[in-house]
Structure 1
């Protein structure tokens, strides 16, 4: 699959067409998920386990990927349903505002609004709320963990960062400008970060540039060795550990960006999902 997958999925020229295709996906999506809207208008897609479970449930706030410029929560319906069913939890997928129309901090604030809404919901155990996302969603989850620490309203029990988009400085690394990357290369990365940051100060807006990571939620980080985000993911995991934040790392040899979405039934993808599931199971366990 890596041999035939494109190196660049999103660019300034392809974005309008891709957004049309994503909207078609929304029209064809499953109706099994309930939907809610926060007081500020943020749409949340809710996946609950079909089997009845007593008492307030633990929950995961899931943040979709798309380079900060593309995507909808419907694109991860299958993943969210699998997590909800296998763990007996509520998975809430947030429809955050996208760049470049809505640069930082719009998307992050939408995710924060969704997290606080989720924690206050009467059916949710506020002591057991995790946050997570893939690619740009993983970058937003890392930023959300920092914002949650700073504001002190909700204390997530885990930040699940799936090949996260954490560091805009990767775009400036000429040593990464080669043909091995799939679905997301250095040019796509430069476009996504420029759109997201706008006029914002990267030292504040980019999670990997934040100097103090202490006190954030325990983390799970997964990434492949053929992913543009491999180096920044492993560097971030080391900085978390150095800051005293528990962090487990799953490195997948030979895996490219989004490999588990392209081939979800491959053994390596099933193993990658199982690692995420078990990290969430441990983090969301009832310790009362």
Structure 2
């Protein structure tokens, strides 16, 4: 039975355009191009003018090529070093690039007041696990080691991403906890792809996963990443974070997912386990929302998500409550003073 009637009406044009992605090894090269172009269609958005973007190539994992990153930095002055977010883009581990999130990363850097480093990690099946997560780990180590040169506060680093990017962020969180060499204070897991067993015949609720990223797409993505059928006994938690025996010691976490997303159950379960292990966790489940619903920015549900995301990230990166828009506030205050009418002087008697 179709679950279209359960979807938010504002998202109907989205699910009609992207009813299902059907990747195969033969169609994957073309899909990579078409998806990147399709997500950029529409009227050119109004971009923040107070964010500068630069491309860097940073040392990769041992024996691997350099990793390309895009660095988003607010132009306005900060009272100190900026906090930073290492961002991993979505794409089922098989498609995508940092450019897919260019608009959202510019806005996030401007509105929250932070540097964002978005990682162009290698994709599967050309580079299966552990290549993608090791690329992200190498990028984070570079960010931490070069924090001073980047104007970044090394004590206020966060990691995050969407879908496969959320899965990589979760895996990176486990890796950092276990290796203990780079501290992070927050992780953002947006409808994360974290459990290969969802693709191995363990069917979630029948009304989820009907649109955009489906069960078939999920099986293909996991098979490409793992180099084998998903659901086996020897899958590393650094590939599928839901496989971790313990989630204790992970940083405070934000998790967001649509109620009709294929990843809804694994997201909610991961949040439950985090809370049970004493990890401060904020979970949002958006009713009537499908996978990647936030791409339709003008919808009410996407606006709710964006507000929740920005507020949670701002609280984490500015724990003292310092305003992230100090530069803009000062300018507005100065402009207001300049246009304020002088008060009439009292006449001397």
Does the pair score TM above 0.5? Answer: yes
Distance 1:109 1:94 in 2: 11
Matches within 5 A, 1:225-240: 225-240=259-274
Match of 1:99 among 111, 114, 124: 124
Match of 1:210 among 224, 232, 244: 244
1:4 match: secondary structure: helix
Tell me the C-alpha RMSD between the 2 structures: 2.5
Q: CA deviation at 1:56?
A: 1.5
Matches within 5 A, 1:173-252: 173-174=202-203, 176=205, 181-198=210-227, 201-204=234-237, 205-252=239-286
Q: How many residues align?
A: 287
Match of 2:318 among 275, 285, 288: 285
Match of 2:190 among 155, 158, 162: 162
1:102 match: secondary structure: coil
Distance 1:179 1:239 in 2: 21
In the other structure, the counterpart of 1:63 is 88
Any unmatched runs of 5+ in structure 2? 1-10, 61-65, 323-349
Distance 1:35 1:175, change over 3 A: closer
Q: TM-score, normalised by structure 2?
A: 0.77
1:55 match: secondary structure: coil
> CA contact under 8 A between 1:9 and 1:183: conserved in structure 2?
yes
Matches within 5 A, 1:111-130: 111-121=136-146, 122=148, 123-130=151-158
Q: Give the ranges of 4+ consecutive aligned residues of structure 1 lying more than 3 Å apart after TM superposition.
A: 21-32, 174-180
> CA contact under 8 A between 1:7 and 1:185: conserved in structure 2?
no
Distance 1:280 1:35 in 2: 24
Any unmatched runs of 5+ in structure 1? none
> CA contact under 8 A between 2:208 and 2:260: conserved in structure 1?
no
> CA contact under 8 A between 1:22 and 1:72: conserved in structure 2?
no
Distance 2:318 2:91 in 1: 30
Distance 1:141 1:10, change over 3 A: farther
| Structure 1 position 8 matched with structure 2 position 37 | no
Q: CA deviation at 1:6?
A: 3.4
> CA contact under 8 A between 1:61 and 1:92: conserved in structure 2?
yes
